[in-house]
Amino acid sequence: MVTDVPTIRTRLADAPATDPAATPPQASPPHLVARDFHLFYGSNEALKGVSLEIPARTVTAIIGPSGCGKSTLLRSFNRMNDLIPNVRVTGELRISELNVLARDTDVVDLRRRVGMVFQRPNPFPKSIFENVVFGLRLLGVKDRGELEVRAEDSLRRAALWDEVKDRLDHSAMALSGGQQQRLCIARSMAIEPEVLLMDEPASALDPTATARVEELILELKSRYTIVVVTHNMQQAARVSDRTAFMMQGELVEFGDTRQLFTSPHKKLTEDYITGRFG
């Protein structure tokens, strides 16, 4: 047994990171669904039949060793993998009633409903304001007043407003890494998505900035269905209601975060969270 694992267990047992009351009842219809989802890069099978159901307004963490397919799964929900040549998929992905993989699904609409935050903060080399309203302008919002109101709202929700309200016209590139990442979150939220996908959103940040982003995730859960990919098990334990553990393209175990970290059903899961590999 590796020493830091009991810490997680202790913390989860002693002080639950998430308020049990906020966890929605299991009966509500799932928001995101994957059924027997396979993905191939050329002849290499990166996802080998993943099935899972994610309820609305929860935070789900996907953990697993690098190369296990967790980012690939995340990027499949807004079809970012379309950008990679020679990718083939089978099975089913749904967001509410929308069939994600169907040929006639409009990816542009899909991506408006599903926001994404990337591993490395990727603001555009434009002003802070222009970054936040980028998606709004694409939707044809031209009214300055409305843009300003919505920008402020998004920045407030991303807990960035107080830091940048006096310099909205400054370049976003001048912000710190943590601020940039919160700006990217604000930018995603401005177009009112239902789902936020976060691909290791804190991996490029220092501990303080990481803590801010984690707080933010907990606050945002009341409005969005959030899926976070992370390589950091403590982080998964801190922010998520439910956790999925993946390995070599397969979903090994998926369940309540506390249960998964304290009494995993599978031997593999236990080995991973106790630090025997990965």
Q: What is the largest CA-CA distance in the chain?
A: 59
CB closer to other proteins, 25 vs 85: 85
Shortest Cβ 234–other proteins spacing (Å) = 26
Shortest Cβ 252–other proteins spacing (Å) = 28
Shortest Cβ 130–other proteins spacing (Å) = 9
Shortest Cβ 108–other proteins spacing (Å) = 5
CB closer to other proteins, 196 vs 217: 196
CA distance 87 to 76: 11
Shortest Cβ 179–other proteins spacing (Å) = 16
Q: Amino acid identity, residue 212?
A: R
CA distance 168 to 134: 14
CA distance 37 to 16: 33
CB closer to other proteins, 62 vs 237: 62
Residues in contact with other proteins by CB under 8 A are 78, 80, 83, 85, 106, 108-109, 111-112, 115-116, 118, 120, 122-126, 134-141, 146, 149-150, 153, 184, 187-188, 191-192
CB closer to other proteins, 110 vs 211: 110
> Kind of pairing, strands 242-247 and 59-63?
parallel
Residue 65 CA, chain-centre distance (Å), reads 17
CB closer to other proteins, 20 vs 140: 140
